[in-house]
Amino acid sequence: MPPQPILELEDSTAPLRARAYFYILPVVVWAALFAWFQLDIPSEETFYEKYSLLIMAVWLGLCWLGLLLPRWVRFHTVERGVFWSTALLMVFNVYYNLLAVNSEGLWNSSLWIAVVFVMAYFVFAPRQAWLVSLGIFAAFVIVGLLALVPPSLRGMPLDQNAVVQLYVSQLCYLILFRLLVLSKEHSLRVRLEAAKLYGLAHTDPLTNVANRRSIMEALYQALEQNRQTGQPLSLALLDLDRFKQINDQYGHEMGDKALVHTAQVLKQNLRPGDLLGRWGGEEFVLLLPNTSLQEARQLCEHLQQKLIENPLDNLRPVSASFGIATATPGDTPDYLISRADTAMYLSKQAGGNRVEVA
């Protein structure tokens, strides 16, 4: 059958991200503690400079412990805790860095600011991540104004180049990550649309089974495999008996329901690897790889019985006439189908509800 687009309701990457956090968080905690121990605490001027690394290390350590307790702490809670703590740390980083930018220039820690824009697209849906990223960038701008405006009003010099480099670089990262996500979303939409169009071209719209084109493509491939491996291949055609009477007596809508019902009964009783298709009108076709003529006959007799046992609503049971052919050396799709069609015609000539073998 042609592939159908699948919309996943669950976040399939969550287990992978949880495993990544499990290994990355201890490294980050160690790095934060290592950097904190290198500080000359008495010489640091602000609470942020003295204790931010220690607080971050403790908090991320608690988040890591949350990963060990999935029954009590949901992974998304841990992930958002890591994200928002990182975002808050970066906002404070920008503020205190700009307070000291004239004397110290841009801190090395400013290299990590853009990580929050990357993390946002893992933690939130794309549109929400874009809004969250814009909000964080706005916070960078606000704390920058709070840090730079008062000294400027007092006439203190400003390292304009450092400030411009900081904000322009973060704005570029913000826009770049957004463009990358939009590109990925566009690629996914194109693939889903291609899968949908392929499905429409290869699926019967009424019964949702393979259509004639799809069956012919599969039959070409199956015959090629039969020639290469010598494995048996059988094909069966079946025609619903007295189907015109259903249309005449109950209307075409009930006739369509009978076709859909027949397709459902057949699909439910086929084996893995068998392919069911609608050949046209009230005719269906069964492509049966790795199936000998005897096995195909047994399967068709089983399907014949299932159709009788499962009538639709108040209709009489719908029976079918089956014709089976098995591939022989040098077979073509048309010749194999022709033999199955001849057998099916003999079944109908004999009164229907039969299985005939070519």
Q: Please report, in angstroms and rounded to a whole number, the separation of the first and last CA atoms in the chain.
A: 26
Instruction: Give me the mean pLDDT over the 35-53 stretch.
Output: 85
Please report, for the chain, the start and end positions of each structural domain, with discontinuous segments joined by +. Answer: 14-199, 212-357
Candidate from 53-67, 111-125, 336-350 with smallest mean pLDDT: 111-125
- Which of 44, 45, 282, 301 is catalytic? The answer is 282
212-357 has which fold? Alpha-Beta Plaits (3.30.70)
Find residue 321's DSSP bridge partners: 239
pLDDT band at 267 (very low <50, low <70, confident <90, very high): very high
pLDDT digits (tens, 9 = 90+) for 168-226: 999 999 999 888 888 878 887 888 888 787 777 788 989 999 999 999 999 999 999 99
Does 343 score more than 90 pLDDT? yes
**Cβ proximity of 93 and 101 under 8 Å:** no
The per-residue pLDDT for 13 is 79
Does 6 score more than 80 pLDDT? no
What percentage of residues in the chain have a pLDDT greater than 90? 58
The per-residue pLDDT for 9 is 40
Does 278 score more than 90 pLDDT? yes
The per-residue pLDDT for 27 is 94
Extract the tokens encoding 294: 């005897």
The per-residue pLDDT for 216 is 93
Instruction: Return all residues near 143 (Cβ < 8 A) that are at least 6 apart.
Output: 91, 92, 94, 95, 98
The per-residue pLDDT for 353 is 92
> How do beta strands 320-326 and 355-357 pair?
parallel
The per-residue pLDDT for 182 is 87
The per-residue pLDDT for 8 is 39
The per-residue pLDDT for 11 is 62
Select from 99, 102, 110 the least CA-distant residue to 149.
Answer: 99
What percentage of residues in the chain have a pLDDT greater than 70? 97
Select from 202, 199, 196, 100 the least CA-distant residue to 147.
Answer: 100
Q: Is 282 a catalytic residue?
A: yes
Extract the tokens encoding 190: 């194109």
Instruction: Give me the mean pLDDT over the 17-31 stretch.
Output: 92
Would you state the torsion angle of the CA atoms of residues 254, 257, 259, 261, taken in this order, to the nearest 10 degrees? -130
Does 110 score more than 90 pLDDT? no
Instruction: Give me the mean pLDDT over the 296-321 stretch.
Output: 89
Instruction: Return all residues near 218 (Cβ < 8 A) that are at least 6 apart.
Output: 210, 275, 287
